[in-house]
Structures are given as structure tokens and as C-alpha cells.
Structure 1
Amino acid sequence: MAVALYAGSDRSSTTAEGRVTRHSFSFGQHYDPDNLGFGPLVCHNDDELSPAAGYPDHPHSELEIVTWVLEGALVHTDSTGARHVVEAGRAQVLSAGTGIRHSEVADPGSGRCRFVQAWLAPTAAGASPSYVLGEAPPRGSALVEVAGGSGLPIGTTGARLLVARLSPGASVTLPDEPRQHVFAATGAVSLDGLSLRSGDAVRIEDEPGHVVTADVETELLVWSFGTLGG
């Protein structure tokens, strides 16, 4: 199917003290051999954290980890020496490379935190770990490259994260690329007769040029891949 709808209510979820994580793909104990990823995208998690809750220090390797904060602020620390408070509307890219440790917790002074985090397979293994933080794109009806392309650098060739903050009735045309993951992070949109509410996604293969129209104020996250490989 060229365009497939994935309801947010069908996602598996993991609950721990102070946090709830909703998984778009097979993850951890929620193993699903029919939903291991989409191109190089192997994880797309939607996290809600209570103040000061989150993920203590833990390791990663050979992953490109892209985080977009939707609400509140996320405190990131890692073994490269980076420590940043990532506020809503900003993105970070952690290239784990040969190995890195990091922690992520909700800033106690900013209340509840919600963020979406994607993991991608790198194009080439063996890179040095690195971290970069991006400025918030301007508000408006256009899709803005946040990571990949003219956005923050990521080590997955052809992968781009684009974000649009849409007013009711505003429309955007999806990129002219063969594989896309479209996620309604907040609000509600319509796409070719399909209705997406917060947490819903569509996966599109080899059928570019779709138009997305916001029914209400919406934050839209689009992963676009310039190749069907992966």
C-alpha cells in the first residue's frame, strides 16, 4: 500500500516512574517482526516525562538519534561533555558513532516535558561520537528542514526531518521523495481523505507530492528519505 495510516492508539507503550513512551515501531519488549522500521528509521518514540523524570545515564552506539521537543524542556548530558537544556521547538542530534553515554531528564523548572525521538541507522559505521543543538525554526506554514539537508547534520545519507507549525486551513505539500513518515505531533490534519489526530502517522512509499491540510493548530513532523533503500 503506497499510503498507510497508523493510528496513535494502536502504538505499544512503556510506562515507568514519571514517564510514558509510545512506540511507532517494534521496540524492546514490544517486539513486532512486521514493524521493525521504515527505511533507515528504526525507532520513533513519543515520550511524556514528569518534572525531573526521564532516562538516567545509558549507552548507545552506531545510531543517529534525533530529538524534537514539543513541550517543556529536556536536560541532555553526554560523555562528549555536552550539557544543554533543550527547550520546546528545538532539536538535537546525537551521533552515537563508536559509542557514547547520555542522560535525558525533564527540566524540573519547566514542568512536564514531551518530545519525539527518532533513531536512524547511520550510512557508515565507525564515526566519532558528536552532538549538535539546533535553533527553533520560524513559525509558519512551511515545512522547515530541522535535521538533514540544510538543517542539523546527521550521518544518514538522504534522511531529513522537516517540521511545520500549521494554522487551521493551512496546507503543505510533502517533499518529492520516495519514502516519507508523516506524524501529527499535535492537532489534526487531512491527507488525501485520511484524517490524522495527535499521535497518528502515515507512511508513504513511492508516491510523492501529497498535500497535508491542518484542521486545527497543528505541529507536523515529516521524515523524508531520498531513497527506498534500507
Structure 2
Amino acid sequence: MEAVVHKANTRGKVDFGWLKSNHTFSFGNYMNPERIRFASLRVLNDDIVAPGRGFDPHPHQDMEIISIPLTGSLEHKDSIGTSGVIRSGEVQVMSAGTGIVHSEYNHSKTDPVNFLQIWVLPDRRGAEPRYDQKQFSVEDRKNKFQVVVAPKESEEGLWINQNAWFSLGNLDVGVEASYQPKNNERGGVYAFLISGKVNINGTELSVRDGAGFPGADLLKVKALEGSELLLMDVPEIV
């Protein structure tokens, strides 16, 4: 099937002063009926939060939430007794399940934090709420793809309640890398380019562009510049 491309400048935008965010899919005040989700990938927000500011305590239910700081640090507290700080190089997962209340603030009083907030629809409702975070070695994704989120059974990365794999790759200019999708029959892979420029199966992406590849058997990625890429391999909801 043909790739579904979302250019960076077509994303929904909000600016509340303390928060600047770009929404790939419909979220909050941004509603685009053609961008509700890609398979089970429901939210992909590119957030910048001002120093010392953040999201006051608020509830979630039946959603798998992944946060990936790109620059800066993010402070987390929740109703199941978890608190901590995640920084660039770390990944955070939170299964909202039967219900969880949490807050997120920029941990720094002087520098903004830029992070990706991603929601994936779970494989079942009413799961037990849980939280986890992990530091990943950037060297382990140099010119290849490093799994950072996966199903529990895979024993790779941090696990969530869905048959989904998230992989990060840092590719030098000219490098070609392949990715074998795990949900190619129902679902697909959504690629989000954090930095640089790449060509994926003939589709060229620039910084902060996204593209979904439904039912792809193989992704062939060529870095046209030094690039950082996030691949989200997600199943369709049936």
C-alpha cells in the first residue's frame, strides 16, 4: 500500500506560552477527521515545555503512553506512588489501564524540555496501571535500529500492553538500514523523523515529517543526511 505522509508543517499547532506543541494526529483543540490515528497509534505530540512549567495532575484510562525526551528533562509523579525524572536518552512508559492520575513538569528552571508524547491503544481494557523508565545507550542505535518499547513477551526494551515495537536509529549520511515489520499483515510502521533527511521505500522525509507504511513487508531506509529516526511498528485494532 502507498505511504501515508504527514509533513511537519501540516501538523496541528498550539501555543499556550508555557507549552508549544505540534500534533500529528487529532488531539485537544486540533481535530482532523483524516488524522485520527494510524492503526493503534493514536497520539504523536511534539511538545516543548517552558522552564519550571508543565501539566498539572490529570487522569488517563485504557491507554499505553510513551514519553521520549529529545532535549532536557521531565519530572513525573503519579497516583500509584511513582516519581522520577527522565532525561534525553531515556524512555518512559505508562499503562493507564483501570485509571491513573499523573503530572509532568519541566524539571529545569532555566531550560525548556522537548519530548515526544505518544499514545497507543492497548490490546485490552482494564489492565493494571503501571510505570517504568529506562536509559538506553545511544551507541547501540548507531547505524542500526534499537528496540526501546516492545510487548512483554519479547523481553526487549520497555514493555506495554500491545503488540507494538518502537525502535530508534541514529544513521550517518549515506547509511542504508533495513527494518522488518512485525505487524505487516494488519497494521504497519509509522516513521517519525526527529532530525535529518531520509528516504524510506522511495518516500523522502525531512525533519519532523512522519509517514505511515501500512502492510509493508520491509522498510529500506537511506540516510540522506545524518538522521535520527523513530519507527513505531503497531497493529491494527480489530
Taking structure 1 as the reference length, the TM-score comes to 0.93
Measured after TM superposition, the shift of residue 26 of structure 1 is: 1.1
Give the alignment's Cα RMSD to 1 decimal: 1.6
Query: Equivalents in 1 of 2:12, 2:95: separation in Å?
Result: 26
Measured after TM superposition, the shift of residue 129 of structure 1 is: 0.9
Secondary structure in structure 2 of the residue aligned to 1:141: coil
Measured after TM superposition, the shift of residue 102 of structure 1 is: 0.8
Where does the alignment leave 5 or more consecutive residues of structure 1 unmatched? none
> What pairs up with 1:19-38 in 2 under 5 angstroms?
19-38=19-38
Query: Equivalents in 2 of 1:161, 1:24: separation in Å?
Result: 17
Query: Equivalents in 2 of 1:171, 1:106: separation in Å?
Result: 36
Q: Does 1:40 align with 2:40?
A: yes
Counterpart residue number, 1:175? 180
Q: Structure 1 stretch 212-221 or stretch 95-104: which is displaced more?
A: 212-221
Rate the CA distance shift 1:81–1:73 in 2: closer, same or farther, 3 A.
same
Counterpart residue number, 2:107? 107
- The correspondence for 1:153, drawn from 155, 159, 163, is 159
Q: Does 1:80 align with 2:80?
A: yes
Q: Does 1:141 align with 2:147?
A: no
- The correspondence for 1:221, drawn from 224, 230, 233, is 230
Note if contact 1:100-1:129 (Cα within 8 Å) is conserved in structure 2: yes
Q: One-letter code of the match for 2:225?
A: V
Partner deviation per Cα, 1:22-80 (whole Å, 9 max, x = no partner): 11111122112222101111111111112112211111111100111111111111111
Measured after TM superposition, the shift of residue 167 of structure 1 is: 1.8
Taking structure 2 as the reference length, the TM-score comes to 0.90
User: Which runs of 4 or more aligned residues in structure 1 lie more than 6 Å from their structure 2 counterparts after TM superposition?
Assistant: none
Secondary structure in structure 2 of the residue aligned to 1:153: strand
Measured after TM superposition, the shift of residue 176 of structure 1 is: 2.9
Query: Equivalents in 2 of 1:176, 1:63: separation in Å?
Result: 23
Measured after TM superposition, the shift of residue 126 of structure 1 is: 1.0
Measured after TM superposition, the shift of residue 209 of structure 1 is: 1.2
Question: For this pair of structures, how many residues does the alignment match?
Answer: 228
Measured after TM superposition, the shift of residue 106 of structure 1 is: 1.4
Where does the alignment leave 5 or more consecutive residues of structure 2 unmatched? none
Query: Equivalents in 2 of 1:52, 1:199: separation in Å?
Result: 25
Q: What is the percentage of aligned positions where both structures have the same residue? A: 29
Note if contact 1:166-1:219 (Cα within 8 Å) is conserved in structure 2: yes
Query: Equivalents in 1 of 2:116, 2:193: separation in Å?
Result: 11
Secondary structure in structure 2 of the residue aligned to 1:108: coil
Q: One-letter code of the match for 1:121?
A: L
